[in-house]
Every structure is written in C-alpha cells, then in structure tokens.
Amino acid sequence: MRIRRPDEKSIEAISSIVAGQGQLFLKQKLEMGELILNFETKNKYEILTSSGQYHGAVIEESGGFWGFLNRTVFRSHRPFKITVYNKSNVPILRLERKFFWMFSDLFISDSHGTRIGSIHRRFGLLRKKYDLMDFNQMVFAQINAPIWRIWTFKIFDVRGKEIGSISKKWTGVFKEVFTDSDSFGVDLSYSEWDTLKKVIVFCAAISVDFDFFEDNSNRH
C-alpha cells in the first residue's frame, strides 16, 4: 500500500461523492435471504443526497463460500473488502478491514490502491471513540460519544470542537429515509474539511454500522 497523497485525477474522481454535499445519507439494502431466511448476506448500501437522489453505492465483496462463513461466524468482527461507486456506477474507493477481536481498523484507498485515510476504533469504557486519520496517518478528527447515546456519533476536531456528526436519527428535512434503523445521516458541512477528509468522514459511517449495528442486521 502506497502512503502518499493521491494524484489530482484520482482526487477529482473521489470528489464526485462529496462535492457540493452538506449531508449524505447511507441506506442499507437488505436482500431476500436476510428478510425471509435470516441468512447473512453481503452488505449493500445506497448513497443518497439530502433531496433523496441516488448518488452512488457501497457494496461488500461476497467472498464466495468463505465470505458467507465469515459473515455468519464472525459477524461484526469479520474481515471485509468494500467498493464505493459513484452515481455513474464507476468504482472510486476501496475499503478494507481485517478480522479483529476488540478494536477495528478500516483503511480507505482510491481505485488505484493509494491510501487516502483510515478509521480506528479506540478504547472507551463508557464512550464510543474513533480516530480519523488522513493519508499522512495524522489524526484530523475524532468520534467521541457516550455509550448510552445509541443513535448519535459526534465528530470533533483535534482541539475538541464539535464539527459534525453521524446519526441514525436524523431530524432534517430528509428524516423519512430513516424508516429502518440501518440508515445514517452524515454531516459534511464543516468548511475546513477538504475532499479527502470529507470522504473519510463519510466512510466512518460504514465503520460505525459494522461495529455497533451489524450483529442486529437481521432484526428487520
């Protein structure tokens, strides 16, 4: 894995997900096996804009039979590879996580394999905590929320200022998307975030879903 800033062409492709978007919504799409037979299938999400327009997709690689076993046995702790597509169904991001016991590490790269950032769950006795790191492996933001606030994951800069949030209980004009609990609203309005940081923040919602809600994915 190359640790360097992606080139401008790659950044332009990546920006198609977050450019001009103050909020994005991530809505999981359940397959028939999950709804009827309680099978663990690969995760799929639609990316939606605040007006409800289709903006892309997030799709976990199936991994064949071994992937099915990983999803069934290891569930939220499983290793996975995910591809993010823009609204033209062009792959622009790759997400990868290895199996873990306690704390997850999600790595984000462009379609050519250049690392653009990562998301690391940290120890918190009564809090949900993550470090969000840029391509230089420097922490630029943190998620820090009380464990009893189930639906909200607030984002802070390194000075402790609240600058955004990831929420399963969105109170904006597009709250109707939350008719099932595997939907997230991601606030991307902080003006000091560049394209790559906004993408990392968006991907943090995927990490949060796998870490805190994956084991309940069949409750529908």
pLDDT tens figures, 123-181 = 988 999 999 999 999 999 999 999 888 889 999 999 999 999 999 865 454 554 544 44
Residue type present at position 152: T
- pTM equals 0.85
Tokens of 1: 């894995």
d(CA 27, CA 29): 6
Does position 31 have pLDDT exceeding 70, yes or no? Answer: no
Residue 2 domain flag: no
d(CA 106, CA 3): 15
- Note the pLDDT of residue 74: 58
SS3 33: helix
CB 42 within 8 A of CB 59: yes
- Domain assignment of residue 143, given as a range: 8-216
For 13: left if phi > 0, alpha if psi spans -120 to 50, otherwise beta; the answer is alpha
H/E stretch holding 73 reads helix 64-73
d(CA 128, CA 175): 24
Residue 134 domain flag: yes
Average pLDDT over residues 114-128: 94
d(CA 70, CA 104): 15
Average pLDDT over residues 59-72: 67
Total domains, the chain: 1
Reported as a single tens digit per residue, the pLDDT across 192-217 is 999 999 999 999 999 999 998 876 54
**For residues 219 and 93, which has the higher predicted lDDT (pLDDT)?**
93
CATH number of domain containing 13: 2.40.160.200
Closest by alpha carbon to 213, among 182, 174, 185, 180? 182
